[in-house]
Structure 1
Amino acid sequence: MPHIAFNGWFWDQPGTGSGQYTRNLIDVFCRADPDLKITLILPESAAIDDVPEGVALERVGLKGRGHWAKLRFEQIQFPQTAGRINADLAHVPYWAGPLRSPIPVVVTVHDLIPLLLPSYQGGLLARTYTGLVAASARGSDAIITDSEASRADILEHLKVDPAQVTAIPLAVSSAFSPTSAGVLDMAIRKKYDLPPEYVLYLGGFDLRKNLNVLLHAFSYVQRGYPIPLVIGGKLPQAITARVFDLPRLIADYGFEEGDVQLIGWVEEADKPALYRLATTAVFPSRYEGFGLPVLEAMASGVPVVVGDTPALAELVGGAGFVVSPDNARELAGAILATITQPNVAADLKNKGLTRAKAFDWGRTAGETRLVYDQVLRSASEH
């Protein structure tokens, strides 16, 4: 029975991509792969709700959850604890593997954003950390990533052996469905004061999300069809060179009250209904490692319009509009087509639902297990 030690830093942060990935992977392993023994290693201060039955816990003492504490956990405490409990393999489910480990390491690199996008590179400490985790990824026994697009980035920029990197797509919860939840959907509409029809953007506000072009495009959309744009997500507390000043952008484009609704932070449990009730979902991002919100929208039966970037084009696979992230008129035209042409909307809805069915956490876990087995075989031969 292989014993896998999981880095659980993000376990108590289920709203993050790494938190969702860790939880879903472990959940499927517990339900469908009884041959695996799993230990979750996490800070002593971390909340441990929803840990599946059968998962062992190892808590490590740590002062705080700041940057230095995180670095100490990743580079020292996690690998040492994994070795002490005699795990066969350590899985770090985000880009922060240890430079040294007493046991084989698999690291999941969701994207190379801190390496590829200048606005994310930060100061000296941030760049040093990126260099550290890049070196640790090169030295790991295997790298998992979310898409072939991200795999290509890793091969080009980390200069690793192609055999070391496997693309395994993510998936979404079965809660994302086109089937109406009735009273619950009505409650969500009331909670967020949603209009009868709306175009939805749900995500972050950093520069790569391209919200300036989205708002420019929407100024064209509303000339052709009076539909609100609903934007969900927690607004940044401070405006920096890395994020958009959304209220200012909205004012600059001259939108009237109700044209653009900022609904703030959206609870994970509310997201399926928010998608389901939307007319169209739009994601004009300039760079993604995968594009989980796009998959959530397709699984909810909502037509999608996305930016023409490698990972999003790969994910959509012909089941949505893929447009230039630089062309506001093209983006507006695609949005209008989904709103004003029922046959186009119905076609994209059906194609999106079919496409979304290809992504399943069972598949993700099964392909991840194959990577574990390969690493363990290789370790036993040396």
Structure 2
Amino acid sequence: MRIAFDVSPLSHERTGVNNYIRGSLHGLAEAAAAGGHEVVAFAPTSPKGRAVIKEAVAGFPLDLRLVGLPGAHWIRTAWSRAGRPPVERFLGPIDVLHFTDWMYPPQRSGIRATTIHDLVPLRFPEWVTPRTRSMHVRKYGHAAKTCDLMFANSAFTADDVAETLGFPRDRVIVAHPGIGEAFEIDGEAADLGRPYLLTVATLEPRKNLSTLVDAFRLLGDLDLNLVIVGGRGWGEQPALAYPGVELLGRVDDAELARLYRGAAAVVYPSRFEGFGMPITEAMASGAPVVASSHPSLDEACGDAALRADPESAESFAAAIREALGQREALRTAGLAHAATFSWAKTGRIFLEGYLQFA
């Protein structure tokens, strides 16, 4: 089986979606190679993006086909909308086309698949840019009409896709994200000079950081800082200027793992997610976790996190206090839960899905 896999988004910075694309591709490439199949990773991308993608997939057992083009975004959009020429013209015969987040290229034959990470642009357009909404809503509609199967990062997202897009639920396959190799309990723990709570989130309304800061205000009797890792996002920026709140911006995986290991607790107050990868990363690194009680986070949390109402600072403050008193029990439960996720497993699920519908 020859599998064409779109890696266009890997030309940009590593956010949750990109981490999923990269991790699932790695797992798929390993599973395919073991089974005698071939993965062709491809992308029309900017000249700068070519170098970034090459670095992202270095060492993966696959055939990489990149075309560097000025104005690559507009070319991808035009190619998707025009519906021609088929991808086979550039890649040769294929048995599967798996497109990801930024385009839905045409194909002449074979299985057609995609991944849906969440339906935020469709359900909550106020939480994304107009460009993001336009691009993703077109993709959702096209995928629902043309795909043989879809992959979702959680059963919550899979159910949402089936209900909202009208796509057969038995053709939406759940492939939970794995956990990066950096995130493990063994290793150096960060020492920031004072105990700290840690949250990992893009600075945007959906991540609900204002509620977290309000909860932090209610913990003033504790000797704690609040450390926020993540870059500036879109929309109204949360009010984060408060004594003890420290913004670190984006950090690499090695530094993030150090921060997880050193945290008194990791707190994830998001209002809505496809899965919630920082939760399982934190657990794998040995951190106790307090997370939003929104059901989109149920699979990431399992029974290993304390939960709190995302609209209540009081609920989060109480859950944080409880977590600090149950650190060892939460660490033990979190490590066991995190051990059930791997990119190798995600990749095998992808390959099995293609074979099932071939």
TM-score, normalized by the shorter chain, greater than 0.5? yes
Distance 2:252 2:258 in 1: 11
Partner in structure 2 of residue 145 of structure 1: 152
CA contact under 8 A between 1:29 and 1:365: conserved in structure 2? yes
1:359 deviates by 0.7
Q: Distance in 2 between matches of 1:288 and 1:150?
A: 9
Matched residues in 2 for 1:30 and 1:319: separation? 31
Paired with 2:42 and 2:204, the residues of 1 have a C-alpha distance of 31
Match of 2:113 among 97, 106, 119: 106
Structure 1: which 5+ runs fail to align? 377-382
Moved more, 200-209 or 47-56: 47-56
1:133 match: 139
Question: Is residue 293 of structure 2 the alignment partner of residue 308 of structure 1?
Answer: yes
Q: 2:225 aligns with which of 211, 218, 228?
A: 228
| 1:14 Cα offset (Å) | 5.6
Q: Which residue of 2 aligns with 1:41?
A: 42
Aligned residue number for residue 351 of structure 1: 333
> Matched residues in 1 for 2:84 and 2:39: separation?
14
Question: 1:1-382 residue pairs with structure 2 within 5 A?
Answer: 2-13=1-12, 15-34=14-33, 35-43=36-44, 45=47, 46-47=50-51, 48-49=54-55, 50-52=57-59, 54-66=61-73, 68-72=74-78, 74=80, 80-82=86-88, 84=90, 85-94=92-101, 96-98=103-105, 100-103=106-109, 104-120=111-127, 122-123=129-130, 127-138=133-144, 139-181=146-188, 185=189, 189=191, 194-222=192-220, 224-236=221-233, 242-244=235-237, 246=238, 249-251=239-241, 255-256=242-243, 259-339=244-324, 341=325, 344-376=326-358
In structure 2, what is the equivalent of residue 379 of structure 1? Answer: none
Identity %: 29
C-alpha spacing 1:90/1:323, structure 2 compared with 1 (3 Å): same
Question: Is the CA contact 2:184–2:257 (under 8 Å) kept in the aligned structure 1?
Answer: yes
What letter matches 1:38 in structure 2?
V
Between the aligned partners of 1:281 and 1:7, the Cα distance in structure 2 is 33
Letter in structure 2 aligned against 1:243: E
- Aligned counterparts of 2:263 and 2:149: Cα–Cα separation in 1: 40
Paired letter, 2:77: L
CA distance in 2, matches of 1:300, 1:147: 21
Q: Say if 1:128 and 1:175 are closer, same or farther in 2 by CA, change over 3 A.
A: closer
Given the superposition, is the C-alpha separation of residues 18 and 327 from structure 1 closer, same or farther in structure 2, using an over 3 Å criterion? Answer: closer
Shift of 1:26: 2.8
The one-letter code sitting in structure 2 at the alignment partner of 1:141 is D
Q: Highest Rg: 1 or 2?
A: 1
Q: Tell me, in whole angstroms, the C-alpha distance in 1 between the residues paired with 2:317 and 2:349.
A: 38
Conserved 8 A contact 2:293-2:309? yes
SS of the aligned residue for 1:115 comes to: helix
Cα 1:71/1:195, change in 2 over 3 Å: farther
Q: RCO (CA 8 Å, sep 6+): is it higher in 1 or 2?
A: 2
- Alignment partners' CA distance in 2, 1:14 and 1:61: 17
1-structure distance, mates of 2:223, 2:149:
51
CA contact (8 A) 1:230 1:262 kept: yes
Cα separation, 2, equivalents of 1:135 and 1:235: 29
1:230 touches 1:263 (CA, 8 Å); kept in 2? yes
Residues 372 and 292 of structure 1, relative CA distance in 2, 3 Å threshold: same
Q: Is contact 1:5-1:82 (8 Å) kept?
A: no
- Supply the distance in 1 between the matched residues of 2:147 and 2:216 (Cα, whole angstroms): 45
Instruction: Give the stretch that moved more between structures: 24-33 or 212-221.
Output: 24-33
Letter paired with 1:37? E
* Contact 1:29-1:36 within 8 A present in 2 as well: no
Conserved? CA contact 2:257–2:285, under 8 Å: yes
The 1-side partners of 2:151 and 2:356 are apart by 13
Q: Distance in 1 between the 2:148 and 2:346 partners?
A: 19
| CA drift at 1:309 | 1.1
State the aligned residue count: 347
What TM-score do you get using the length of structure 1 for normalisation?
0.84
Amino acid at match of 2:304: A
- Deviation string 1:280-339 (CA, Å, 9 cap, x unpaired) is 000000000010111110111101111111121222111011111011111001111222
Which segment drifts farther, 349-358 or 264-273? 264-273
